[in-house]
Amino acid sequence: MFDAKISETTVTQNDIKIAARKVQVYYGEAHAIKDVSVDILDKTVTAFIGPSGCGKSTFLRCINRMNDTIPICRVEGDILLDGEDIYDKRVDPVNLRARVGMVFQKPNPFPKSIYDNVAYGPRIHGLARTKADLDEIVERALRRGAIWEEVKDRLHQPGTGLSGGQQQRLCIARAVATEPEVLLMDEPCSALDPIATAQVEELIDELRQSYSVVIVTHSMQQAARVSQKTAFFHLGNLVEYGDTEQIFTNPVDPRTESYITGRIG
């Protein structure tokens, strides 16, 4: 079951970053997420696994209120970020999303230059005072996205001209550039080849030093490689949540065992 584990970076701080309590999500009549409660730790990679349609992406999108953009979607229950309810009326979802960044399944660079793609968030949120500031932010983000060396000579060419793997790393750099506290990744490697996947996985492990990373994945090897915590979703329920090693070697719930051994899903 286990591939070579990416070398663990020593991380000391492990406070609860996100606390979800009795979260319910409805799409119109359909009950997509049923009573999910979970604590996501800071500076930790948490993997959400489960068969297609089990609600893991939906739950992920609750954490930065991306579901607000879908008119028929309704969320109940509490999700606390650093102890604050993000569904409180006073919380501005736009500001929330600056704190909780997101990387999507398909690389979605904007039809702009590489530089402008990365500078997009900092510009919107006014993070840079001068052009030199912005240049620095962009370079730092691209370096963290492990793509700086490849694009430093073509910063002003369109981001859409990059290869799929480069585009996805650009999108990660773009998300990192706004200095979020949490990074949500919705199957970030499903459109990538194995080499690009390996690069992104390495990147995820590095990002763990600064952020809480939540990744949805269909690959159990990937979950085992990159995460310290794993949550298994099935039919809208959170079946089991625990240390990745425990989930993959000694699952408590028979459904988890069936899934990771390939019997359901």
3-state secondary structure (DSSP) of residue 231: strand
Backbone angles phi, psi at 26, to 5 degrees: -120, 135
The nearer residue to other proteins, 32 or 175, going by C-beta atoms, is 175
The C-alpha angle 69, 61, 80, rounded to 5 degrees, equals 110
| Between 171 and 231, CB nearer to other proteins | 171
Provide, rounded to whole angstroms, the least separation between the CB of residue 107 and other proteins: 9
117 phi and psi, to 5 degrees? -60, -50
Rounded Cα distance, 122 and 107, in Å = 20
Instruction: State the nearest-atom distance from the C-beta of 102 to other proteins, in Å.
Output: 4
Decide whether 43 or 61 has the Cβ nearer to other proteins.
61
Nearer to other proteins, 98 or 223 (CB): 98
CB of 121 to other proteins, least distance (A): 4
**Identity of the residue, 32 or 247, whose beta carbon is nearer to other proteins in the bound complex:** 32
Which residue type is seen at 71?
P
Query: b/e per residue, 180-216, with b = 16+ CB within 10 A?
Result: bbbbbbbbbbebbeeebbebbbebbbebbeebbbbbb
Residue 66 or 207: which CB sits closer to other proteins?
A: 66
Interface positions with other proteins (CB under 8 A): 64, 66, 69, 71, 94-99, 101-104, 106, 108-112, 120-121, 124-125, 158, 160, 171, 174-175, 178
Q: Which residue, 186 or 240, has its beta carbon nearer to other proteins?
A: 186
- List, in sequence order, the alpha helices (H) in the chain: 56-63, 93-99, 114-125, 131-144, 148-151, 164-177, 194-207, 220-226, 244-249, 254-260
Nearest to 146 by CA among 123, 169, 127, 113: 169
Residue 258, judged by CB atoms within 10 A of its CB (0-12, 13-18, 19+), counts as middle
Q: Shortest approach of other proteins to residue 22 CB, angstroms?
A: 25
Shortest separation between residue 66's beta carbon and other proteins, angstroms:
6
CB of 166 to other proteins, least distance (A): 15
Taking the C-alpha atoms of residue 241 and residue 246, their distance in angstroms, rounded to an integer, is 9
Minimum distance from residue 261 beta carbon to other proteins (Å): 34
